[in-house]
Structures are given as structure tokens and as C-alpha cells.
Structure 1
Amino acid sequence: MKTFFAFLKKENMELIRSGRLALLLLLFVLFGIMNPAIAKMTPWLIKMMASSLENTGLLITEIKVDAMTSWTQYYKNIGMLLIIFVLFVSNTLTKEYQKGTLILVLTKGLSRFKVVLAKTVVNMLLWTLCYWMCFGITYGYNAYFWDNSIALHLFYAAFCYWLFGIWILSLVVFFSSVTQSNTSVLIGTGGIIIVLRLLSMFSSTKKYLPIKLMEGFSLLTADAYVKDYNIAVIITIIFSLVCIGCSIISFNRKMI
């Protein structure tokens, strides 16, 4: 296990030295603050626009802002943040192929499966840190300005989207183990999501798909129930483990 932790430490140091850690943290903090800030500023922005809109004959009534307004903004932004995160980590193995750095590491005795596990652990821990930090900042500001109790099943809904991100990262690791280029990783991951999007158009299959976890906002507004997501949660966990397992098998057979 010493070689595994040594490689894990090396990956963490690379995150820090490359500036990716600082940039991602800054981005997620910024969006965590923006969610309640935009909600708080909405009445002021509407008021500023009201005078100009009156000339066109449009009348704007008073806008009510609460914690739900901020959480709506949160779920609009978190998808974009996940895309940005994937773009940052999609070269998790492909850059090693291009630089030839894995050859030196493997010849020193590090097992191939430990390389995949270390890459997976680092990316998933980074996603966990960034995601829950963004959520925590939004939650804190919402609690200060309004009342989070208006949003039902708040933490379970947040858990669902976090788990969806974990599954996406397992796809990134899988396609990184079977392809040589960063572009192929993104195309493969995006292709799977598009296919599941199409399948989710059928109500009979939607509840079984990881895509279901992106709709956690429905829990907040009582338009859905926790039990509606349980099957998708279990299947997503299984899919994630299968992807990681297949990544290890594929990487063990890969010519580097």
C-alpha cells in the first residue's frame, strides 16, 4: 500500500502545483455565493427595469424572493459546474499516455490497478470537496437571508446530484482507460449521457437511469418523493462500481 499512497500523494501535489485545485475551488465558491446573491438582487433588478418596461405597457408586480429562489439558481448552475469539472479532469490518464510518465511509474513496481484507483480517488474526492463546499455556501447564505425549511428533502436531493457526478467521473475513468485522447474521453462520456437522455424520454425506463438523479429539485418542491429516486440511486452506484472495475481490467490489458 505504500506505493499506492505515494502515487496518491503525487497526484494531490500535481493538483496543487498545476493550479487546478485552486481554480476549481475558486469557481465553486464563486457560484456558491452567486446563487443567493442573484436571488437577493432579483427584486432590485426588476425594480430597475420596471420604469423602462412601463413605456411598453408592461406592468411588473412585486417579486417575492425566498430560499427556493436561490435553490432554483443552484440547480441551474450546478450542471454547468459539473461540465467544467469534467473538462478539467478528463485528461486524468490520457496526459500520462502522451507524456509517457506512466512507464517510469509502472517499472518501479506500482501495480496498474493502483494507478486507476488513485486517479479515481483523487478525482472523486476533488468533486466531493468542490460540490459540498458550493452546496454549503449556498445553504449558509440561504439560512442567513431566508429559511431553508421551505425546501423539502434538501440534503437527499443534493446527495442525488453528487452521486450523479460520481457516476460521470467513473465514466471518465473508464473511457480514459480504453482510449488514448482527451477528445475521445469527452465524446464517449457525452455519448453515454445523450443515449440515457433519449431513454429517459420513456417514463417506464426513466426511474432506473442515473439521469433521474439530475432532477433532485423536484424533491424540494414536493413534485416528487424520495422513493422515486431510490432505484436510480442503487443502479447508479452499481454502474459506477462496474465502470471502475472495467477500467481496471481495460488498463491492465492496455499497451502503454
Structure 2
Amino acid sequence: MRAFFAFVKKECLEQYRTGKLLMLFAVFVLFGIMNPAIAKLTPWLMESLSESLAQAGMTVTEYTVTAVDSWAQFYKNIPMALIVFVLAECGIFTKEYNANTLVLCLTKGLSRRKVMLAKTSVLFLLWSALYFVCFGITYAYSAYYWDNSAVGFLGFGVFLWWLLGVLAVMLIPLFSALFNANTGVAAGVGAVFGGAYLLGLIPALKEYSPAFLMKTAPLTYKTAESGDYLGAVTVTALLCVVAFACAFPVFDKKQL
């Protein structure tokens, strides 16, 4: 276990030294601030555009902002944060393939499975920490300006997007074991999410697609129940387990 934790420490230091940790932290903090800021500025923006809209024949009425608007922005922005995360981390394995540094670690007695587990653990912890930093900032500002109790199923809605991020985290090591380039890893993750979106277009299957978890608006506005998402949550969790389990034997057979 000492070798495992030493490798985890090495991965954490690598995240810091390359600047990825600070860059991702800044992105998630920025989104966390933007969510309530955009909601707070909405009435001012509507007032500023009222004359232009009136000339176009549109009437602008007084708009009251609540915490619901802030969390609606959170759910709109977190997909972009997840995309940035995937693009930044899709080279966590491939960079070492190109530099041949993994071979050095393996020759020193570290097993392939420990390498896979260590890198996956770092990705999981990093995503979770960054996601909940963004959540915490949005929650604090929303509580200060409005009342978070007005938001329907807030905790469950936040969990859904965290779970989607975990799916992406589990797919990165799997596709890293299959491909040697960042583009292949990113394309693989994108293909899975694209396939989930297409699956969601089939009426009989849409409630079982991971893409269904992205539809948090009905929860926010209290027009849906958490039980409506049980099928999609179960399928997504199973995909996470399958991707995690498959990554190990695939990586064992990979030629480095």
C-alpha cells in the first residue's frame, strides 16, 4: 500500500505542477460565482434591453429573481465545467505513455492495477472536490440573497450532475487503456454521452438513459419527483461500475 499512496501523492503533485489543478479550481470557482451573479443581474439586463425589445414589439414586465434562477444557472453551467474537466484530464494516462514514465514505475514493482486505481482515485476525488466547491459557492450566495428552500429537490438535483461527472471520470481510464492519444480518450467519452443522448430520444428508453439525469428543471420547479429518475440513476451507476471494472483487464493487456 505504501507504493500505492506514494503514486497517488505523485499524481496529486503532477496536477499542481502542470497547473491543471489551479486552472480547474479557477474555472469551477468562476462558475460558482457566475450562477448567482447572472441571476442577480437579470432584472437589470431586462431593464436595459426593455427599449430595444419594446421597439421590436415585445413587452417586458417586472421580473422577480429567486434562488430558483440561481440554481437554473448552476445546472446550465455545470455541463461546460464538466467538459473543461474532461478535456484537461483526458491526458492523465496518455501523457505518460508518450513520455514512457509508466514503464519506469512498473519496473520498480508497482503493479498495473495499482496504477489504474491510483489515477482513477485522483480523478474521482478531484472531480468531487471541484464540483462541491462550485456547489458550495452557489449555495452560499443563493442563501445570502434569496432562500434556497424555494428550490425543489436541490440535494437530489446536485447529486444527479455529480453522478454524471463520476461516469465521465470512470470512462477516462477505460478509454485511456484503449487509446494512446488525448483525442481518442476525449472522443470516447463524448461518444458515450452522445449515445446516451440519442438513447434518450427513444420514448420507451428515455427514462433509463444517463442523459435523462441532465433534465433537472422539472425537479427545480417541483414538477417532477426524485423517483422519476430512479431508472436513469440505476443505469448510470451500473455504467460507472462496468467502466471501472473493465478498465483494469484492458489496461493489463495494453502494450506500453
How do 1:130-169 and structure 2 match up within 5 A? 130-169=130-169
How do 1:10-89 and structure 2 match up within 5 A? 10-89=10-89
Letter in 1 for 2:236: T
CA RMSD in angstroms comes to 1.2
Letter in 2 for 1:71: W
Cα deviation, residue 146, structure 1: 0.7
How do 1:186-201 and structure 2 match up within 5 A? 186-201=186-201
How do 1:111-122 and structure 2 match up within 5 A? 111-122=111-122
Letter in 2 for 1:131: Y
Cα deviation, residue 56, structure 1: 4.3
Cα deviation, residue 47, structure 1: 1.3
CA contact (8 A) 2:197 2:209 kept: no
Query: Whole-Å Cα distance in 2 between the matches of residues 202 and 186 of structure 1?
Result: 25
Instruction: Give the aligned partner of residue 232 of structure 1.
Output: 232
Cα deviation, residue 30, structure 1: 0.9
Query: Whole-Å Cα distance in 1 between the matches of residues 89 and 56 of structure 2?
Result: 48
Cα deviation, residue 181, structure 1: 0.8
Query: Whole-Å Cα distance in 2 between the matches of residues 49 and 248 of structure 1?
Result: 55
Cα deviation, residue 197, structure 1: 1.1
Query: Whole-Å Cα distance in 1 between the matches of residues 217 and 60 of structure 2?
Result: 27
- Unaligned 5+ residue runs, structure 1? none
User: Cα gap change, 1:219/1:98 in structure 2, threshold over 3 Å: closer, same or farther?
Assistant: same
Instruction: Give the aligned partner of residue 4 of structure 2.
Output: 4
Cα deviation, residue 217, structure 1: 2.9
CA contact (8 A) 2:12 2:122 kept: yes
> Which secondary structure state, in structure 2, belongs to the residue aligned with residue 61 of structure 1?
coil
Instruction: Give the aligned partner of residue 105 of structure 1.
Output: 105
Q: Deviations over 1:128-182 (max 9, x none)?
A: 0111111111111111111111111101110011011100111111000111111
Cα deviation, residue 209, structure 1: 2.0
Say whether 1:179 aligns with 2:176. no
> Which secondary structure state, in structure 2, belongs to the residue aligned with residue 203 of structure 1?
coil
Query: Whole-Å Cα distance in 2 between the matches of residues 252 and 30 of structure 1?
Result: 39
Query: Whole-Å Cα distance in 2 between the matches of residues 52 and 145 of structure 1?
Result: 29
> Which secondary structure state, in structure 1, belongs to the residue aligned with residue 109 of structure 2?
coil
Cα deviation, residue 23, structure 1: 1.1
Query: Whole-Å Cα distance in 1 between the matches of residues 170 and 161 of structure 2?
Result: 14
Letter in 2 for 1:246: C
Q: Is the deviation greater in 60-69 or in 48-57?
A: 48-57
Number of matched pairs: 256
Q: Is the deviation greater in 44-53 or in 145-154?
A: 44-53
CA contact (8 A) 2:15 2:21 kept: yes
Query: Whole-Å Cα distance in 2 between the matches of residues 199 and 54 of structure 1?
Result: 42
Q: Deviations over 1:8-33 (max 9, x none)?
A: 00000111111111111111111101
CA contact (8 A) 2:207 2:229 kept: yes
CA contact (8 A) 2:72 2:220 kept: no
Q: Is the deviation greater in 57-66 or in 116-125?
A: 57-66
Q: Deviations over 1:37-79 (max 9, x none)?
A: 1111111111122234444444311112111111111111111
Write out the 4+ residue segments of structure 1 that deviate beyond 4 Å after TM superposition: none
Q: Is the deviation greater in 202-211 or in 240-249?
A: 202-211
Query: Whole-Å Cα distance in 2 between the matches of residues 65 and 119 of structure 1?
Result: 42
> Which secondary structure state, in structure 2, belongs to the residue aligned with residue 104 of structure 1?
helix
Q: TM-score w.r.t. structure 1 length?
A: 0.96
CA contact (8 A) 2:40 2:65 kept: yes
Query: Whole-Å Cα distance in 2 between the matches of residues 57 and 250 of structure 1?
Result: 61
Query: Whole-Å Cα distance in 2 between the matches of residues 219 and 11 of structure 1?
Result: 37
Query: Whole-Å Cα distance in 2 between the matches of residues 56 and 218 of structure 1?
Result: 31
> Which secondary structure state, in structure 2, belongs to the residue aligned with residue 207 of structure 1?
helix
